[in-house]
Structure 1
Amino acid sequence: MTEDMRSIVGAELTLAPPDAPMLAALLGLLHETGVAPDELPSGIELLTELQLVQGLCAATPAGAIAHLHRVCTQERGAARITLDHVHGQQAAKEAFTQLQADLEDWRHGRLPWAEVTSSFLLFGPPGTGKTHLASALAGSARLPLVKTSYSDCQKAGHQGDMLRELNAAADRAISQTPAVFFLDEIDSFFSRNTPSNGYILGVVNGLLTLLDRLNATPGVIVMAATNYPQRVDPAILRSGRLDRHISVGPLDRTGVRAALLADLPEGLLSDPELCLLADQLAGRVGADIASLIRDARTRARRAGNGLSAQHVKAAADRISPQPEPDLQRRIAIHEAGHLLAGHIFGLPAPTQAQITSRNGHVAMQCFDVLTQKRIFSQIRVDLGGYAAEQVVFGAPCNGSGGDIESDLARATFRAQQAELSYGFGETLSWQPSTTDIERLSARQRARIEQQLQQALKETKQALQTHRADLERIAEVLIRERELDRNRIAELLREVAVAEPSSVPRKAPGRNSHGLGGSATDDCNGPE
């Protein structure tokens, strides 16, 4: 309903979804005969409008009842992805389970739509199951799912064609209310804060208007997905457009076990075998586990016999080879360096730490406000893994570098923010922190490098002082693989440190501040 039409409506009534007593009464009125509710099948409330209308159009009550039994049986037998098929991703499952309950209350008039959290951003690496989660929610709630993406819309043509395609998808969701509207690749719309042209500005503004329209429509659940949340325009991410931001990450050991148990025959793997595979595959994404199981079944067919544990182990070794002990120790030392550096330089304890057969991860708490002390401490945490490898092994491996999510990239970007955008540098003249480093002046690049070198020097000295603690925490990581907030706090409680000096020494002539796996900021959304 348009806003003009809504303004002349005197009252809005929310009708409960049809059930057996309601349909029995309708059939009785249509055919002028009594129809008992217990003559009708269970599951009527989950049928679509078209399925119900076909039943009401039947020539006789018996024909209507037979039709309803047939479609309900078909629906029960149809393969449908639900939240029960989602393994790991506890935050998403909890949010969507609550949404299901709220949706049911809204359908029965017990909850106004304005009180339902109905818009979500799913962010995380490729292959973690963001699209799968949208399908699972739609399947569990028995809602139609309308999916589109930047690529789908852009194929329609120029700006006007693209926006027309985007709005057509939104219209499909609104016409099928209640429904799930899923927009993938939302980072491809870019941020208006980055250099762009009028085409991009027009498309992003059109998207903002569309999100407002969808969120103003009771019954429409809005979901967007991205691999790169930092690239999304802040206006898209704000409350009222995408209220809840949920990280969808790789599987932990519990998630791997659940995925294997759900998709393999019962009893195929013993508990010790499951534990070993969980250690081996932790950190992989759901798509990897699905590929592993397909490979194992292919190996069994090729061998001409039934699926066995050996087929599963061989497929697991192809995806994630058994780690060398020396590599596992290096990964553990690297992640312990992040943990210990954060504690020494005064940051709150991380929320999680994990090592896998290939890498590791430490989730640091993030801050809404960054002081000079905090950002320089964060840079030392970023360099903690690199410094720890230098302390223990004499030199680092390539685990701290690589792509834009690496430790070195993160530390460089923070130093660049401090120098150019936050007023912690040599001048107060603002520059975007996204400026390519090669476009900075030689003096600016030298200052950023100076801050990084000073931070590495101090971090290395601190970890050398606490080498025994570094080794102790690494051994715990090797043994336990995953540490939660409480376990991390317990380990760090034993580390006695003096009050850190997080404001680095002055550089000549000015007030200067120095500033592997990976240490990332654990936020409810992009920082």
Structure 2
Amino acid sequence: MNNKKVVSFLPYIAVIGILLLLISSRFTSNAKSFTYNEFLNKADKIEFKSAEMSMGTTVIDISGTYMEKGKEVGFMVSVPNTESNVETLTKTFQKNKKMKLVVNDPNRENFLMSFLMNILPFIFIAGIAFFMFSKMNAGGNNKAFEFSKSKARMEGNIKVRFKDVAGCDEEKEEVKEIIDYLKDPKRFTDMGARIPKGMLMVGPPGTGKTLLAKAVAGEADVPFFSISGSDFVEMFVGTGASRVRDMFKKAAQAAPCIVFIDEIDAVGRQRGAGMGGGNDEREQTLNQLLVEMDGMGENKGIVIIAATNRPDVLDPALLRSGRFDRQITVNLPDKRGRYEILKVHARNKKLAADVNLENLAKRTPGFSGADLENVLNEGAILAVRGKRKIITLDDLDEAIDRVMMGPAKKSKKYSDKEKRLVAYHEAGHAVIGLKLESADNVEKVTIIPRGEAGGYNMMIPGEEKMFPTKADFMGQITGLMGGRVAEEVIFDEISAGASNDIQKATKIAKAMVRSWGMSSLGPIQYDDGTGNVFLGRDYSSGSNYSGEIAYEIDKEIRKIINECHEQAKQIILENKDLLTLIADTLVEEETITSEQIMNLMNYGTLDNPNEEKKQTIEKLEADATDVFETERVEEQTAANELAESELDEALKELTKDDFHDEN
């Protein structure tokens, strides 16, 4: 048994032991107990010292002491309450005039002791029953009286500040007026202004929505209630609505405060879109949330902040003015934002001197704040695993690969044929990146397996754009086709290794035709624009175009893919020697960097010969400088020695002349 469980039972064991001791002390004594006949036979022969008679209705309880062999001994006896017995006992005890006789009325006994002795067994049994039931409820987690209580957790004295939230400067500007309102609401009410009751933060996972909400509470120095949307809904009808009421009641008591509801789409989905009818528990919870938000007074000081990455499924009533008045989009950070985020998370990291966070930010497009934090954390773990005192650039490079693709499977061995196939596949992507201007730049190529991929090619955009053009998308698709085309050209065969490339290319082509109007079908949107499918809403809705248009869409998608495939094939055929050179290098080295790839393209080797010449010249110049300095020092030393010797000779001559003059 666990020691903690034993310790938890000790108070109960102690109480039970004390109770048993009290009960036993009540009924056990060292006094000698006589029977009625024994007492009558010995009464005349005993020298009594004291006696106490308790006159009951039918029985007389007698206790006292008598002398036996020079010692005082206690006795107890019960005799029938008759007139003859009373007279006999009175005469017996009165024979010794020094004896102390006390006659008690049983109706005047200690009422408290009598009450305790009568009621104590029942209290004891009730306590055991309560203890057993409480343990059963705790073990089964059946807290019946807590179903309707809110699960919102209140945090006070929040330490997070705006300086801890990087990469979202515009979003911080949007929420600053909320902070001013929570600090001094009178300024706004005097002006007749109404601060939004609710703010909805929308953005991909890991972009810092929760952290930003905490920073608002930290800057305003107000309590912070946090709860998830799924915490409202239970299997019991009415529980969610009751929890909503309880949450707003607690928030009103702690006002001014911030209530943060994470993943609000779990409870705020559109009503009437459920597969099992509209009157379910979730919709009742949503109705109560709508009522509570609309019923908040102007000066209650409660600000609701919610977060979701699926705003398209939220009920329109939740987004109307007076509820979630303001919608703040927290997007993935750009290069500068990633650099600021890395600086925040690198505060407690011991980085090597050659680690440049700006370069690291450049190499991680599309990473969220959580991904960047994970990169630095993985780098620190790798440094500890390698027993290093600092986090090196190699650690961070491996960490980026781990976050993107998973750990390297170095134990997985290719056959020679498979290794060449993967090398040419990845080299095909690299050649397209090098030779096609609109394609993404090649940052790193490896044939070490990671995750489901046999190798991968890290390609980053040359410039991060808010509005990519059709040429940009065509360049991306062409780059994705490079590996497949290289297999066709070199091996006259295709493998399943390009499945992920084909999936990405098809997705881009579909979006070009259906969403962005980048085809001959014109600037018409043929999808619903809601992104992910919401089954309850989209199950019964048909497409908004005819079957003929669907056929045309398929033709346009195929046309885009075929054009990019042919362009990739042309580039590969024109640069077949470069393709073979990169593939052969990959077979030998397994991983090559962007700088090495550029050297292969420009000089045919991994190293830059001009750089080697430059280093050689610099070394020769440094050696020549050292020789010149050495010769100069030697000449100066020789001149100094000559001057010293001439000075010594002059002094000797002078001394000799002075000696002759004295003579």
Q: Provide the rounded CA distance (Å) in 1 between the counterparts of 2:305 and 2:252.
A: 14
SS in 2 for 1:244: strand
What is the rounded CA distance, in whole Å, between the counterparts of 2:434 and 2:295 in structure 1? 49
Pairwise CA distance, 1:262? 2.1
Query: Counterpart of 1:449?
Result: 550
Once the two structures are superposed, residues 365-389 of structure 1 have per-residue CA deviations (whole angstroms, 9 ceiling, x without a partner) of 9xxxxxxxxxxxx9x9998678766
Q: How many residues align?
A: 352
Residues 137, 160 of structure 1: alpha-carbon distance in 2 compared, 3 angstrom cutoff: same
Cα distance in 1, alignment partners of residues 201 and 555 from structure 2 = 37
Q: Give 1:232's aligned residue.
A: 314
Look up the equivalent residue of 1:121 and give its one-letter code: L
Q: Does 1:314 align with 2:392?
A: no
Indicate the residue corresponding to 1:127 in structure 2: 206
Residue 277 (structure 1) shift: 1.0
- Secondary structure of the 2:160 match is coil
Q: Which segment is superposed worse, 82-91 or 448-457?
A: 448-457
Aligned counterparts of 1:334 and 1:192: Cα–Cα separation in 2: 50
User: Unpaired runs of 5+ in structure 1?
Assistant: 1-74, 339-355, 366-377, 423-431, 468-477, 479-527
Look up the SS of the partner of 2:332 in the other structure.
coil
Partner SS for 2:371: helix
The answer to whether residue 510 in structure 2 is matched with residue 408 in structure 1 is yes
Equivalent pair of 1:182/1:222 in contact (CA under 8 Å): yes
Alignment of 1:129-208 (within 5 A): 129-155=208-234, 157-189=235-267, 190-192=269-271, 194-196=273-275, 197=277, 198-199=279-280, 200-208=282-290
C-alpha distance in structure 2 between counterparts of 1:332 and 1:245, whole Å:
42
Is this contact kept in 2: 1:251–1:286, CA < 8 A? yes
- TM-score (normalizing by structure 2): 0.43
Per-residue deviation at 1:321? 6.7
- Does the C-alpha gap of structure 1 residues 418 and 263 become closer, same or farther in structure 2, counting only changes over 3 Å? closer
Alignment TM-score, normalising by the size of structure 1: 0.53
Q: 2:304 pairs with 203, 222, 226, which one?
A: 222
Distance 1:147 1:403 in 2: 41
Alignment of 1:37-116 (within 5 A): 80-106=159-185, 114-116=193-195
2 CA distance for matches of 1:445 and 1:336? 35
Q: Which has the higher contact order (CA 8 A, sep 6+)?
A: 1
Instruction: Give, in angstroms, the shift of residue 162 of structure 1.
Output: 0.9
CA contact (8 A) 1:106 1:112 kept: no
Match in the other structure for 1:253: 335
Partner Cα distance (1:167, 1:335) in 2: 59
* Alignment correspondent of 1:280: 363
Shift of the 281–393 alpha-carbon distance from structure 1 to 2, 3 Å rule, reads closer
SS of equivalent residue, structure 2 residue 167: coil
Q: Using the alignment, how far apart are the partners of 2:484 and 2:472 within structure 1?
A: 19
Report if the CA contact (8 A) 2:158-2:218 is conserved.
Answer: no
SS at match of 2:336: helix
Deviation at 1:142, TM superposition (A): 0.9
Counterpart Cα distance in 1 of 2:507 and 2:297: 32
Give the AA of the match of 2:368.
Answer: V
Secondary structure of the corresponding residue to residue 271 of structure 2: coil
**In 1: Cα distance, 2:333 partner to 2:232 partner:** 31
Query: 2:434 & 2:170 partners in 1: Cα distance?
Result: 26
Does the CA contact (< 8 Å) of 1:413 and 1:433 recur in 2? no
1:263 to 345, 348, 361: 345
SS of alignment partner, residue 298 of structure 1: helix
Shift of 1:447: 3.0
Question: Contact 1:214–1:222 (CA<8 Å) still a contact in 2?
Answer: no
Q: Which digits, 9 at most, give the CA deviation of each residue in 1:282-304, with x for residues without a partner?
A: 31122222222333333333344
Find the counterpart in structure 1 of residue 294 from structure 2.
212
Gap change, CA 1:382 and 1:281, over 3 Å in 2: closer
Q: Which moved more, 1:443-452 or 1:85-94?
A: 443-452
The SS at the match of 2:399 is: helix
CA distance in 1, matches of 2:505, 2:249: 39
Shift of 1:91: 2.5
Counterparts of 1:276 and 1:130 in 2: how far apart (Å)?
Answer: 26
For 2:283 and 2:364, how far apart are their aligned partners in 1? 42
Whole-angstrom CA distance in 2 between matches of 1:107 and 1:389: 59
| Distance across 2 between alignment mates of 1:433 and 1:161 | 23
Deviation at 1:252, TM superposition (A): 2.2
Aligned to 1:295: 378
- Structure 2 distance, partners of 1:145, 1:242, is 18
Q: Structure 1 residues 331, 284: closer, same or farther in 2, change over 3 A?
A: farther
Separation of aligned partners in 2, 1:389 and 1:147: 45
Asked if structure 2 preserves the Cα contact closer than 8 Å seen for 1:256 and 1:278, the reply is: yes
- Following TM superposition, by how much is the alpha carbon of 1:272 offset from its aligned partner in structure 2, in angstroms? 6.9
CA offsets 1:235-270 (integer angstroms, 9 cap, x no match)? 212232112212222232222221222232588355
What are the superposed Cα offsets for residues 142-189 of structure 1, whole Å, 9 maximum, x if unpaired?
Answer: 11111112211114x434101111222222222211111111222223
Taking structure 1 as reference, are residues 280 and 389 closer, same or farther at Cα in structure 2, changes over 3 Å only? closer
Distance 2:219 2:273 in 1: 39
Does the 8 A contact of 1:147 with 1:183 survive in 2?
A: yes
Aligned to 1:222, what secondary structure does the other structure show? strand
1:440 offset after TM fit, Å? 5.2
Distance 1:109 1:229, change over 3 A: closer
Kept after mapping to 1: 8 A contact 2:429/2:482: no
CA distance in 1, matches of 2:158, 2:563: 57
CA 1:440 to 1:279, structure 2 compared with 1: closer, same or farther past 3 Å? same
* TM-fit CA distance, 1:230: 1.0
Q: Give the match's secondary structure for 1:212.
A: helix
The AA in structure 1 aligned to 2:226 is K
Q: Structure 1 401/460 Cα, relative in aligned 2: closer, same or farther at 3 Å?
A: closer
Quote the offset at 1:113 in angstroms: 7.3
Larger Rg: 2
- Distance in 1 (CA, whole Å) between partners of 2:190 and 2:373 is 39
How far 1:334 moved relative to its partner? 11
Q: Secondary structure at the match of 2:232?
A: helix
Matches within 5 A, 1:476-487: none
The answer to whether the 8 A contact 1:182-1:224 is kept is yes
Q: Read off the aligned partner of 2:172 and give its amino acid letter.
A: K
| d(CA) in 1 for partners of 2:169, 2:553 | 37
Identity %: 24
Q: Give the letter for the 2:324 counterpart.
A: L
The separation in 1 between residues aligned to 2:402 and 2:313, in whole angstroms, is: 34
Question: Cα gap change, 1:235/1:319 in structure 2, threshold over 3 Å: closer, same or farther?
Answer: same
Instruction: Describe the SS at the equivalent of 1:115.
Output: coil
RMSD: 5.2
Distance apart, 1:86 and its partner CA? 0.7
Distance across 2 between alignment mates of 1:128 and 1:245 = 15
For the Cα contact (< 8 Å) 1:412–1:448, is it kept in 2? no
- Whichever residue aligns with residue 378 of structure 2, its letter is D
Q: Distance in 2 between matches of 1:208 and 1:382?
A: 44
Residues 387, 248 of structure 1: CA spacing in aligned structure 2 closer, same or farther, 3 A cutoff?
Answer: same
